Amino acid sequence: MRYLSTRGHNAQQTFSEILLGGLAADGGLYLPEKYPQVTTAQLDAWRGLSYADLAFEVLSLYCDDIPPVDLKALVKKTYTAEVYSNGRADDSAKDITPIHWLGDEAGTRLGLLSLSNGPTLAFKDMAMQLLGNLFEYTLNKRGQELNILGATSGDTGSAAEYAMRGKKGVRVFMLSPKGKMSAFQVAQMYSLQDENIYNIAIDGVFDDAQDIVKAVSNDHAFKAQQKIGTVNSINWARVVAQVVYYFQGYLLATKNSTEKVSFCVPSGNFGNVCAGHIARMMGLPIEKLVVATNENDVLDEFFKTGVYRARQSAETFHTTSPSMDISKASNFERFVYDLVGRDPVRTAKMFQDVETKGGFDLSKDDAYKTISQYGFVSGKSTHANRLETIRDIHAKYSVVIDTHTADGVKVARENLQANVPMLVLETALPIKFAETIQEALGRSPDRPAAFIGIEDQPQRVAEMPADVNQVKAFVAKHTGL
């Protein structure tokens, strides 16, 4: 399998070649030259496979430059019930992403696809844990090392740290805004004692931390000398790892491989639902892909109108589903490339327009008329909707859902079709957003046993002013490069 850039100018690359990089050199995103097709017979043959074996089947189609025995060992090491059993009392942990059926609504079954039982209790662990093992494997093979520099306001940073802890050849330098995260999030990250994980608390807000990362990335000499890399959501390996759970969800929800299933995805940067799009393009019988946004509704607006308008920072809201608070969706270019018939020149033009003119308009374009063929529909949810949905799901089904998942359930309910099961992707556990659960239900969500008392554990963090040079000096001192 070869990979090309959505903007077209690149020499075609293998999976291992694009694994450690971010954007293609022309500013585009990597996609496979074609989507491998999965037949009904193949799907039937995959029924009953363990998650790790299913991951092997799906990933083999994309990572064909990793020897099969090695890939198999990597997925077996990644997808274990032990790693993905947080917060679950029953034995469904063996399915890694079990379905939690809520009940029957509008003539069909409504369920949650549980993606948040990994070490940091959010779906990002599903891909990040694999990435940690893939990085270690590839760096070792090449005799290289990598120093990941990132900024986080919560979810991504902790998922990256838990994925990379103890991995040979990798160090993580994670900037976070001092005093701006919840005590739970702080404890999750700063209590890690692994030698290769460096938490840096910056005097400032998230944007200050992000600006430092950008400044370091723009210093090409420093970046090369210190072997700096990232793990952001445009990384192709993260997207493809997420394709696997659409197959798992489908197989768990159906008895034979002609039935259809719909998925509803709480969306921010479009990474998660992009994986759903790819699964559907591979032939998985997905009826609808429902994109759920919060008040930051740039994606809902696009699917409803054909107009893509990136938001200014002043119009980007801080909401109670904060991991979906985006001004533009960094993975969206992958879908648009397919939508315009894989035309790299048009794609490049449109996404240059996003930078220079703030967006593009496909409302009168033939491409926009074909959107329903891709299964996409969308909807939006607000703080009031979240509270109402959390209360209603709790009252009807005695289940507590997190705020992001609540956005998904709200929009999923607007798109139910008789006899087509609807799976809402559960993207985090409620304990991560306890304040809003308290507001909705008047009580705190349950805390998984592994997290009881984590706030009292010793913490390992360096504190620093928001100063690029001090961060650079800290990185250089610890890499010794």
Ligand X SMILES: *Cc1c(COP(=O)(O)O)cnc(C)c1O
What are the two backbone dihedrals, phi and then psi, of residue 173, each rounded to the nearest 5 degrees? -115, 105
Q: Does 232 bind ligand X (CB under 6 A)?
A: no
Q: Which stretch binds ligand X (CB under 6 A): 50-58, 264-272, 304-312, 444-452?
A: 264-272
Which residue type is seen at 192? L
- Cβ 314 to ligand X shortest distance, Å: 21
Which residue matches tokens 């048009």? 346
Query: Minimum distance from CB of 271 to ligand X (Å)?
Result: 3
447, 195 Cβ separation under 8 angstroms: no
Residues 147-176 within binding reach of ligand X (CB under 6 A):
155
Residue 187 contacts residue 457 (beta carbons within 8 Å): yes
By CB under 6 A, the residues from 276 to 315 that bind ligand X are: none
Binding range to ligand X, per CB under 6 A, among 142-150, 262-270, 308-316, 381-389? 262-270
CB of 127 to ligand X, least distance (A): 9
Binding to ligand X, residues 311-330 (CB under 6 A): 323-324
User: 58: closest CA among 236, 235, 241, 237?
Assistant: 241
Long-range contacts of 217-223 (CB under 8 A, 24+ apart): 217/149, 219/472, 222/472
Long-range residue pairs from 284-287, CB within 8 A, at least 24 positions apart, any chain? 284/38, 284/43, 284/246, 284/247, 284/250, 285/250, 285/257, 285/258, 285/259, 285/260, 285/261, 286/246, 286/250, 286/260, 286/261, 286/262, 286/375, 287/260, 287/261, 287/262, 287/375, 287/417, 287/420
x/- letters, 81..120, toward ligand X (CB under 6 A): ----------------------------------------
Q: How far is the CB of 64 from ligand X (least distance, A)?
A: 25
**Could you give the CA distance from residue 455 to residue 434 in angstroms, rounded to a whole number?**
15
Say how far apart CA 233 and CA 215 lie, in whole Å. Answer: 19
Q: Tell me the window of 5-13, 95-103, 269-277, 446-454 that interacts with ligand X (CB under 6 A).
A: 269-277
Question: Which one among 138, 176, 272, 389 touches ligand X, defined by CB under 6 A?
Answer: 272
* Least distance CB 379 / ligand X (angstroms): 15
**Can residue 428 be called a binding residue for ligand X (CB under 6 A)?**
yes
- Which listed residue (210, 269, 347, 385) binds ligand X by CB under 6 A? 269
What are the structure tokens assigned to 278, written together? 């790819």
Among positions 44-63, residues that touch ligand X (CB under 6 A) are: none
CB of 275 to ligand X, least distance (A): 8
| 263 is a contact residue toward ligand X (CB under 6 A) | no
The footprint of ligand X on this chain (CB under 6 A) covers a number of residues equal to 16
Work out how close the CB of 282 gets to ligand X at its nearest, in angstroms, rounded to a whole number: 19
Q: How many CA atoms lie within 13 A of 111 on its CB side?
A: 20
Tokens of 387: 């509270």
CB nearer to ligand X: give 136 or 155: 155
Applying CB under 6 A, does 124 fall inside the site for ligand X? yes
Number of alpha carbons in the 13 Å side-chain half-sphere of residue 184 = 17
- Rounded to whole angstroms, the Cα distance separating 318 from 311 reads 13
Kindly indicate which of the ranges 162-170, 260-268, 307-315, 390-398 contains the residues binding ligand X, using the contact rule CB under 6 A. 260-268
CB of 180 to ligand X, least distance (A): 17
Q: Which of 150, 177, 249, 268 binds ligand X (CB under 6 A)?
A: 268
By CB under 6 A, is residue 189 in contact with ligand X?
no
Q: Which is closer to ligand X, CB of 13 or CB of 269?
A: 269
Is the alpha carbon torsion for 392, 398, 404, 405 positive or negative? negative
**Closer residue to ligand X in complex, CB, 382/470:** 382
Nearer to ligand X, 288 or 404 (CB): 404
Nearer to ligand X, 139 or 279 (CB): 279
Residues 8/28, Cβ–Cβ less than 8 Å: yes
Q: Any residues with CB less than 8 A from the CB of 206 and at least 6 apart, and which?
A: 151, 152, 153, 176, 177, 180
Choose the binding region for ligand X from 8-16, 48-56, 101-109, 265-273 (rule: CB under 6 A): 265-273
426 scored as a contact of ligand X (CB under 6 A): no
Nearer to ligand X, 269 or 415 (CB): 269
The distance of closest approach from Cβ of residue 286 to ligand X in the complex, given in angstroms and rounded to an integer, is 17
Nearest CA to 423 out of 122, 128, 97 is that of: 97
d(CA 223, CA 244): 33
Out of 124, 167, 328, 410, pick the active-site residue.
Answer: 124
Instruction: Tell me which of 153, 158, 226, 233 binds ligand X, using CB under 6 A.
Output: 233
Beta carbons of 110 and 412 less than 8 angstroms apart:
yes
Active site residue 214: no
Edge-to-edge strands of the sheet including 197-203? 228-229, 146-151, 170-177, 197-203, 462-465
Active site residues: 124
Q: Which residues bind ligand X (CB under 6 A)?
A: 122, 124, 155, 233, 266-272, 323-324, 404, 427-428
